[in-house]
A and B are shown apart, each in its own frame.
Chain A
Amino acid sequence: MLQHLPVLQVMVPLFGALVAALSRRPGPSWLVMTAASWIALAISVTLMHQVLTGGVISYHIGGWDPSLGIEYRVDVFSALILVLVSGIAAVSAPFAHRSVASEIPEDRIAWFYTMYLLALTGLLGIAITGDAFNAFVFLEVSSLSSYALIALGRDRRALVAAYQYLILGTIGATFYVIGVGFLYVTTGTLNLGLIGERLAAVESTRPVLTALAFITVGISLKLALFPLHVWLPNAYAYAPSTATVFLAATATKVAIYLFVRYLFTVFGDRFVFAELPIQQVLIVLSVAAIFGAGAVAIFQSDVKRMFAYSSVAQIGYITLGIAIATQTGLTGGIVHVINHGLIKGALFMALGAVALQVRHCHIEELAGLGQKMPLTMSALVVAGLGLIGVPGTVGFISKWYLIVASFEVGWWWLAVLIVASSLLTVVYVGRVVEAVWFREPSEVARGAREAPLSMLIPMWLLAGATVFFGIDANLTAGIAAKAAAALLGSPG
């Protein structure tokens, strides 16, 4: 059984989706979703343990040799993403129960969970597969189910947001496939590791560069790298709360995983940064994302949209770490993948608990909610502090690594930019905190009651994690450092 864990990691949520679709009623389908995500988490934790103790796991599907068949390959970085995605799904399961019941019509709840599990399948598949085209398949599985998830939102603008995401996401995926096509034509294989090895022998670099360009742009659309981020604010704002929690914490992170995998394992960072000005472009776009999206966030009156723009800014930090591409920089980028997942998960859960009672997450309607929902709003404050990067929270750990990395390569101006951007975060988080805790309750807020326990516990689990891993970051940063070392040392 244990040696089949890699394929079970994907099969369990997939079959869960099937069973959820067949079960039709809200209660059973929720149970299926919970069971599937918890089992997926158990599998991913076991895989992580196996990788940390035994080295890279290579699983050949159907027994076919990797050059011919599909290989599932788990190294430290993949295991990290697997744990993150399944962890968020598992923690969201109890949260989803009340949230979904209140936001989605009863006859569609089973479909919601089906789509949710399909999205989980797709995301886990991207992280675990070692085949380029298989990655495309899972990419589309996760994307299509995400479009459906978003479209199930209450507001009719969710439909338009899903449509816009569909158009842009499909263009992105298609660009990715074009890139893979060029890689196949030049190397004759679709296995990521083997492509990496064979690329060194390829003489004509033009198709390779074309492939790199298409893959970069394609994945950047999925990752919501500025300026290809336009689908994200609306998608996160109008999706059902559980969908936002799940997608905000995981979808873009898996795209980042794919991006890093191509940059470091397939093409090799030395080749990539030497042949194309990707490092400079990434740095400029990352800084633009951090400041641009941060500035726009300040002026939003819908709090969900505000934090969606915040996500675009935070992704900028991750890509900045990747662009610096030193051990410290890459560690900072990877650890922020985890940290941001935790922070945004907690934040959107708090907003989801608010949405249970207050229909729109308008900052005016949130006024004074701290008095009626103190536990929920405290979780919001804790996660908000993590977003700002106050020492003692996970946000600080990521920022520390990025600042030290900037100093190490002598780009002190970048360190200045990183710290300056925290101030933007202070402003918009401060706006929300001030409205929630320091104003008199609004009309709608007066009728609000504290969130149910099934929502509070997951919320505080994630919010607590943002503080716990800010004080003892050896687990998260340690694993991130190992992942970074493996990526930087890999051939290609």
Chain B
Amino acid sequence: MSGAELIAIALVLPVATAVLVALFGRRPNSREGATLLGAVALFATVLALLTQVLGGAAPALPLIEIVPGLTIAFAIEPLGMLFAVIASGLWIVNSLYSIGYMRANGEQRQTVFYVCFALAIAATMGIAFSGNLFTLFLFYEVLTLVTYPLVTHSRTAEAKAAGRLYLLLLLGASTLLLLPAVAWTGIAAGTLDFANGGILAGKLAPAAMGLLLALFIFGIAKAAVMPMHFWLPAAMVAPTPVSALLHAVAVVKAGVFFIVKVVVFVFGIDTLRETGAGDWLVYVAGFTVITASLVALRQDHLKRRLAYSTISQLSYVVLGASLFTPLAIVGAVMHIAAHAVSKITLFFAAGSLHTAAHIDHVSEMDGIGYRMPWTMGAFAVGALSMIGVPLTAGFLGKWFMLVGAGGHAQWFAVGVIVLSTMLNAGYFLPVIYRAFRRPAKAEADGHGHDEAHSGEAPWPMVVALVTTAILTVGLFFFPGVPLTLAQMLTAG
């Protein structure tokens, strides 16, 4: 099959899955089967594309010209390929987890949930495979709209308020900042197509270029660079599978993907480094990294702590990109992959704690590790990866970034990475300690679960989180695919 056909399949498949899920709404098992089938089929398609890209091909699919100057076109390059692999692969795991979570918690409106999930993945594929700024912007907006019902899923007043903030902040940033940036780029560069090395070289004065970059960075609110981060902790009110999707697979990754794509394919690393238009970015990113980590230290609600950790980790990627050197970019890209698998593990564990033990706060977690060893074991792996301990995936990203930064005497960046690593340890290690060292508190009431069970979460959830934990470690030993793609990106 040609690359273009595979791209088309990859885009249509999640939408078709959404339709099937909607049709099977009354039959939960068929419905869940449709989701899993769609996810596996999508991953297979993406893998087929991956083999082509690793072989040096660049599949493309121009679709339609809306008006002269605006086209919807798809073109795969290494960064987008990596994003697609992560998203489609983790969709399978996330679906498995969702089945366990939604059934165990007796959640309402499950069909709407799975439909919106599938559509969100479709939008993510559109983002990953986009061939020009307009297509990327289009699917980026679609993603916001499609995930809104997921955020407000529980329909409580808190959920609706969070949904309003989510929509207003994301749509507001993209309408006020991102859209003018896209229009300005189109006019200055004469085109919206992506090109490795950028399309703006010599087209704008350095000050204007810096302003344009700022419009992009703050307009892409999904990357949660401060102060555009408020939506993220608020969205924690959503069910955990949604948080896992938002914080590992689709939404935030779409944000940082967009930023890296803009840095490499719209501005060009060399242009930014030589004109100095992006020199301010490393400070903004560094600020977010440190500040978010400091706030995370003070959060007792587990998911909120993980949310601020995510904000901090996302700005790692921005930090790496802001150094404008190939090695640092490689580190940033590796960190996209590492953070995805690690964070999803952490969120899976948090959801597992919520479901099986009704625990939402760190202060309630004393001794839980003995009753839920798989969950907390996976949590520990994910946490160590976030800290950047060798033998976990998180180490690789940070290592490349440190080397890239140090090699160019970017001492601020080095300092930020070192300091934040210590802060990460500061808010993750106590959690693990509490879980395993402190004596267990009085038994929490088993809410209809078999007392014969070990107190663990339902098996789909456990399988899911163990799988991602293994991936977290596995990525350290077998970094082949992300590393190759990252190197192809910076070499091109």
Q: Report which A residues bind B (CB closer than 8 A).
A: 385, 388-392, 397, 399-401, 403-404, 407-408, 412, 415-416, 419-420, 422-423, 426-427, 430, 434, 437-438, 470-474, 477-478
Q: B70, B134, B152, B176: which contacts A423 (Cβ < 8 A)?
A: B176
Residues of A within 8 A of B183 (CB): 400, 403-404, 407, 415
| Residues of B153-177 contacting chain A, CB below 8 A | 155, 160, 163-164, 167-168, 171-172, 175-176
Q: List the one stretch of B113-121, B136-144, B400-408, B425-433 in contact with chain A.
A: B136-144
In the assembled complex, the CB of B254 is this many whole angstroms from the nearest CB of chain A, namely 15
User: A472 CA to B68 CA in the complex, in Å?
Assistant: 11
User: A11 CA to B171 CA in the complex, in Å?
Assistant: 48
Q: A404, A430, A437: which contacts B164 (Cβ < 8 A)?
A: A430
Q: Are B67 and A423 in contact (CB under 8 A)?
A: no
Further 5 A-B residue pairs, CB within 8 A, beyond A407-B184, A434-B163, A471-B72? A392-B138, A392-B141, A404-B187, A415-B180, A420-B176
Q: B67, B152, B163, B168: which contacts A400 (Cβ < 8 A)?
A: B67
Q: Are A404 and B172 in contact (CB under 8 A)?
A: no
Residues of B within 8 A of A408 (CB): 187
Residues of A within 8 A of B65 (CB): 474
User: A404 CA to B167 CA in the complex, in Å?
Assistant: 25
Residues of A within 8 A of B180 (CB): 403, 412, 415-416, 419
Q: Are A426 and B171 in contact (CB under 8 A)?
A: yes
Interface membership of chain B positions 445-485, coded 1 if the CB is closer than 8 angstroms to chain A and 0 otherwise: 00000000000000000000000000000000000000000
Residues of A within 8 A of B389 (CB): none
Residues of B within 8 A of A471 (CB): 64, 66, 72
User: A422 CA to B178 CA in the complex, in Å?
Assistant: 13
User: A474 CA to B184 CA in the complex, in Å?
Assistant: 22
In the assembled complex, the CB of B478 is this many whole angstroms from the nearest CB of chain A, namely 39
The 7 closest A-B pairs by CB, nearest first: A391-B138, A477-B67, A403-B183, A422-B175, A473-B67, A473-B66, A419-B175
| Residues of B313-362 contacting chain A, CB below 8 A | none
User: A67 CA to B172 CA in the complex, in Å?
Assistant: 55
User: A438 CA to B179 CA in the complex, in Å?
Assistant: 28
User: A407 CA to B186 CA in the complex, in Å?
Assistant: 10
Among residues of A, the one whose C-beta sits closest to the C-beta of B171 is: A426
Among residues of A, the one whose C-beta sits closest to the C-beta of B138 is: A391
Among residues of B, the one whose C-beta sits closest to the C-beta of A407 is: B187
| Given A385-B145, A434-B160, CB of A423 within 8 Å of CB of B66 | no
Among residues of A, the one whose C-beta sits closest to the C-beta of B140 is: A391
| Given A390-B145, A403-B183, CB of A474 within 8 Å of CB of B176 | no
Residues of A within 8 A of B187 (CB): 404, 407-408
Ordered by A's residue number, 9 sampled pairs between the chains whose C-beta atoms are within 8 Å are A391-B137, A391-B141, A404-B183, A426-B168, A426-B175, A430-B167, A434-B160, A471-B64, A472-B66
Among residues of A, the one whose C-beta sits closest to the C-beta of B137 is: A391
User: A415 CA to B177 CA in the complex, in Å?
Assistant: 11
User: A412 CA to B211 CA in the complex, in Å?
Assistant: 13
In the assembled complex, the CB of A370 is this many whole angstroms from the nearest CB of chain B, namely 11
User: A267 CA to B195 CA in the complex, in Å?
Assistant: 47
Residues of B within 8 A of A437 (CB): 149
User: A390 CA to B164 CA in the complex, in Å?
Assistant: 17
User: A64 CA to B233 CA in the complex, in Å?
Assistant: 75
Among residues of A, the one whose C-beta sits closest to the C-beta of B155 is: A438
Q: Are A474 and B66 in contact (CB under 8 A)?
A: yes
User: A388 CA to B172 CA in the complex, in Å?
Assistant: 11
In the assembled complex, the CB of B176 is this many whole angstroms from the nearest CB of chain A, namely 5
Among residues of B, the one whose C-beta sits closest to the C-beta of A392 is: B138
Among residues of B, the one whose C-beta sits closest to the C-beta of A381 is: B145
Q: Report which B residues bind A (CB closer than 8 A).
A: 64-67, 70, 72, 134, 137-138, 141-142, 145, 149, 152, 155, 160, 163-164, 167-168, 171-172, 175-176, 179-180, 183-184, 186-187
Residues of A within 8 A of B70 (CB): 400
| Given A403-B180, A404-B187, A416-B180, CB of A423 within 8 Å of CB of B142 | no
Residues of B within 8 A of A392 (CB): 138, 141-142
Residue among B138, B152, B155 with max Cβ neighbours from chain A (10 Å): B138
Residues of B within 8 A of A473 (CB): 66-67
User: A474 CA to B70 CA in the complex, in Å?
Assistant: 11
Q: Chain A contact residues: over half helix, strand or loop, or mixed? A: helix
Among residues of B, the one whose C-beta sits closest to the C-beta of A437 is: B149
Among residues of B, the one whose C-beta sits closest to the C-beta of A397 is: B67
Q: Are B142 and A419 in contact (CB under 8 A)?
A: no
In the assembled complex, the CB of B185 is this many whole angstroms from the nearest CB of chain A, namely 11
User: A434 CA to B64 CA in the complex, in Å?
Assistant: 33
User: A59 CA to B172 CA in the complex, in Å?
Assistant: 51
Q: Are A474 and B67 in contact (CB under 8 A)?
A: yes
Residue among B134, B164, B175 with max Cβ neighbours from chain A (10 Å): B175
User: A447 CA to B251 CA in the complex, in Å?
Assistant: 38
Q: Are B141 and A390 in contact (CB under 8 A)?
A: yes
Among residues of B, the one whose C-beta sits closest to the C-beta of A406 is: B183
Among residues of B, the one whose C-beta sits closest to the C-beta of A422 is: B175
In the assembled complex, the CB of B123 is this many whole angstroms from the nearest CB of chain A, namely 11
Among residues of B, the one whose C-beta sits closest to the C-beta of A423 is: B172
Residues of A within 8 A of B152 (CB): 438
Among residues of B, the one whose C-beta sits closest to the C-beta of A331 is: B67
Residues of A within 8 A of B134 (CB): 391
In the assembled complex, the CB of A298 is this many whole angstroms from the nearest CB of chain B, namely 13
Q: Are B160 and A438 in contact (CB under 8 A)?
A: yes
Among residues of A, the one whose C-beta sits closest to the C-beta of B134 is: A391
Residues of B within 8 A of A426 (CB): 167-168, 171-172, 175
In the assembled complex, the CB of B379 is this many whole angstroms from the nearest CB of chain A, namely 33
Residues of A within 8 A of B163 (CB): 434, 438
Residues of A within 8 A of B142 (CB): 390, 392
Residues of A within 8 A of B171 (CB): 388, 423, 426
Q: A385, A415, A472: which contacts B64 (Cβ < 8 A)?
A: A472
Residues of B within 8 A of A427 (CB): 168
In the assembled complex, the CB of A380 is this many whole angstroms from the nearest CB of chain B, namely 14
User: A477 CA to B138 CA in the complex, in Å?
Assistant: 19
User: A451 CA to B268 CA in the complex, in Å?
Assistant: 53
Among residues of A, the one whose C-beta sits closest to the C-beta of B168 is: A426
In the assembled complex, the CB of B385 is this many whole angstroms from the nearest CB of chain A, namely 36
Among residues of B, the one whose C-beta sits closest to the C-beta of A469 is: B66
In the assembled complex, the CB of A63 is this many whole angstroms from the nearest CB of chain B, namely 42
User: A474 CA to B72 CA in the complex, in Å?
Assistant: 13
User: A477 CA to B145 CA in the complex, in Å?
Assistant: 26
Residues of B within 8 A of A407 (CB): 183-184, 187
Q: Are B186 and A404 in contact (CB under 8 A)?
A: yes
Among residues of A, the one whose C-beta sits closest to the C-beta of B187 is: A407
Residues of B within 8 A of A420 (CB): 175-176
Residues of A within 8 A of B138 (CB): 391-392
Residue among A391, A423, A430, A474 with max Cβ neighbours from chain B (10 Å): A391
Among residues of A, the one whose C-beta sits closest to the C-beta of B183 is: A403
Q: Are B66 and A470 in contact (CB under 8 A)?
A: yes
Residues of A within 8 A of B184 (CB): 407
Residues of B within 8 A of A422 (CB): 175
Q: Are A397 and B66 in contact (CB under 8 A)?
A: yes
In the assembled complex, the CB of A433 is this many whole angstroms from the nearest CB of chain B, namely 9
In the assembled complex, the CB of B251 is this many whole angstroms from the nearest CB of chain A, namely 17
Residues of A within 8 A of B141 (CB): 390-392
In the assembled complex, the CB of B239 is this many whole angstroms from the nearest CB of chain A, namely 16
Q: Are B186 and A419 in contact (CB under 8 A)?
A: no
User: A243 CA to B163 CA in the complex, in Å?
Assistant: 36
Q: Are B155 and A403 in contact (CB under 8 A)?
A: no
Q: Are B175 and A423 in contact (CB under 8 A)?
A: yes
| Given A391-B134, A404-B183, A426-B171, CB of A419 within 8 Å of CB of B66 | no
Residues of B within 8 A of A419 (CB): 175-176, 179-180
Residues of A within 8 A of B137 (CB): 391
In the assembled complex, the CB of A411 is this many whole angstroms from the nearest CB of chain B, namely 12
Among residues of A, the one whose C-beta sits closest to the C-beta of B144 is: A390
Residues of A within 8 A of B186 (CB): 404
Among residues of A, the one whose C-beta sits closest to the C-beta of B177 is: A419
In the assembled complex, the CB of A146 is this many whole angstroms from the nearest CB of chain B, namely 34
In the assembled complex, the CB of B109 is this many whole angstroms from the nearest CB of chain A, namely 10
Residues of B within 8 A of A474 (CB): 65-67
User: A192 CA to B222 CA in the complex, in Å?
Assistant: 54
